[in-house]
């Protein structure tokens, strides 16, 4: 059976990266951060997208 990965909120992502929540929203506005998407009114992030974004940053 397919298992869904847990989704992180913008606050969860900020806590994980040790940055202010405003930084997460600024990255999203500028298109610089990990790919996020809306679930209703809530902004959510997938672990796989966060890991991909971190890997890309390590390569540059």
Q: What is the pLDDT along the chain (60 residues), one digit of tens a residue?
A: 667 888 999 999 999 999 999 999 999 999 999 999 999 999 999 999 999 999 999 876
Domain extent at residue 21: 7-59
Nearest C-alpha neighbor of 47 from the set 58, 36, 59: 36
Whether 43 maps to a domain, the answer reads yes
| Alpha helices (H) along the chain | 10-17, 21-30, 47-59
For tokens 């997938």, name the residue.
46
Q: What is the pLDDT of residue 22?
A: 97
Whether 31 maps to a domain, the answer reads yes
Whether 1 maps to a domain, the answer reads no
Whether 2 maps to a domain, the answer reads no
pTM of the model as a whole: 0.86
């Amino acid at each position: 059976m397919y298992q869904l990965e847990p989704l992180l909120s913008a606050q969860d992502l900020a806590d994980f990266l040790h940055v202010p929540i405003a930084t997460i929203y600024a990255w999203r506005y500028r298109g610089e951060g990990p790919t996020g998407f809306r679930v209703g009114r809530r902004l959510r992030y997938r672990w796989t997208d966060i890991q991909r974004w971190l890997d890309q940053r390590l390569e540059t």
